[in-house]
């Protein structure tokens, strides 16, 4: 009997110690998380009267230049038209949550709550709850940065989307819709890059189809913002196809790519001129490298006479850059080792 009681006391003591250990090491909420919890149930901040006029210089000034009321007015101007969209709400919050901690380090969550109430009283509670989720999401990314960095692309995506759905529910699909579309574009570019050498035109038609499928009627707007990124992505994916073309055919192919991506006549003319300049540069580099290799032969270093011959050739081929190239080679760097990426360098 005594032994049974002793066992019970020992078990209870062990459970108590375990409970205290769990309690001690349980993650504690930081001040911002506590502020979010407190303000979620607080009344929405209301403004006596109307918001001030839009500051004339708001696009060229930092938020630190304005009062809370003026910041609220600026947010209405920038995001009010489409504030019902979760993706727009996130864009609003990302801007405020980037700047407010710098301006109000101890109370930025309260100021955020205030601004949302002033700017969007009918949506303030919904957006504020989203801001709490966004804060938790950012904390998750920071805490798992090293772990995510070691994962494969697929595993990383799965982990990120699992957390997004946990925090934002179905809204996650709309919030990160652009990321999904761009990932689909990236996957299409990988398929193009991995395909056998073939017609650049045919691959361009395939790429154009993918862009239209992903962005639909928004494609012109997307191209305005991401034209160079989307163009360069395709150019990189068809390097082996461009490599087998003559200079003239390659130049025509690059022009066709840029024209298909919506570049105007003036831009196309500038790119044509740049392609000619790049081609001369690479051809000159080839001539120079061949001469240097010939002069060096099996020797470990160039003779003074060889150096003078090389100096003369450098000046002839590279003009003002000749001295820079000479110094680069003296330090051990040779431009001939650079990889040529057609259409990019």
Mean of per-residue pLDDT scores for the chain: 91
The alpha carbons of the chain give a radius of gyration, in whole angstroms, of 31
> For the whole model, what pTM was predicted?
0.75
Is residue 20 predicted with pLDDT exceeding 60?
A: no
pLDDT digit string, tens, across residues 190-232: 999 999 999 999 999 999 999 999 999 999 999 999 999 999 9
Per mean pLDDT, which range of 19-33, 151-165, 205-219, 257-271 is the poorest? 19-33
Q: How many CA atoms lie within 13 A of 70 on its CB side?
A: 13
Per mean pLDDT, which range of 46-50, 147-151, 271-275 is the poorest? 46-50
Is residue 25 predicted with pLDDT exceeding 50?
A: no
**pLDDT for res 6:** 59
**pLDDT for res 29:** 82
pLDDT band at 7 (very low <50, low <70, confident <90, very high): low
Q: Roughly what angle, to the nearest 10 degrees, separates helices 31-40 and 124-143?
A: 160
């Amino acid at each position: 009997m005594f032994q049974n009681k002793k066992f019970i006391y020992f078990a209870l003591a062990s459970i108590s110690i375990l409970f205290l250990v769990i309690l001690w090491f349980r993650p504690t909420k930081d001040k911002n998380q506590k502020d979010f919890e407190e303000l979620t149930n607080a009344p929405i901040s209301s403004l006596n009267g109307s918001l001030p006029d839009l500051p004339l210089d708001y696009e060229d000034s930092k938020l630190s230049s304005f009062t809370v009321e003026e910041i609220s007015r600026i947010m209405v101007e920038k995001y009010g038209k489409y504030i019902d969209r979760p993706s727009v709400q996130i864009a609003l919050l990302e801007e405020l949550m980037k700047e407010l901690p710098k301006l109000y380090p101890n109370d930025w969550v309260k100021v955020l709550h205030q601004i949302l109430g002033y700017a969007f009283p009918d949506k303030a509670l919904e957006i504020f709850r989203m801001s709490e989720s966004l804060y938790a999401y950012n904390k998750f990314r920071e805490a798992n940065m090293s772990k995510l960095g070691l994962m494969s692309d697929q595993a990383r995506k799965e982990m990120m989307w699992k957390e997004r759905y946990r925090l934002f529910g179905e809204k996650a699909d709309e919030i990160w819709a652009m990321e999904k579309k761009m990932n689909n574009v990236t996957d299409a570019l990988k398929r193009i890059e991995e395909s056998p050498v073939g017609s650049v035109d045919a691959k361009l038609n395939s790429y154009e189809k993918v862009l239209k499928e992903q962005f639909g009627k928004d494609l012109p707007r997307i191209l305005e913002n991401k034209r160079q990124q989307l163009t360069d992505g395709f150019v990189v994916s068809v390097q082996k196809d461009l490599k087998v073309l003559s200079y003239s055919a390659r130049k025509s192919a690059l022009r066709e790519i840029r024209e298909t991506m919506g570049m105007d006549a003036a831009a196309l003319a500038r790119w044509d001129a740049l392609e000619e300049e790049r081609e001369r540069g690479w051809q000159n580099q080839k001539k120079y490298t061949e001469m240097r290799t010939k002069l060096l032969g099996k020797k470990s270093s160039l003779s003074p006479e060889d150096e003078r011959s090389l100096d003369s050739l450098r000046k002839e081929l590279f003009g003002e850059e000749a001295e820079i190239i000479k110094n680069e080679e003296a330090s051990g760097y040779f431009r001939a080792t650079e990889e040529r990426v057609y259409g990019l360098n």
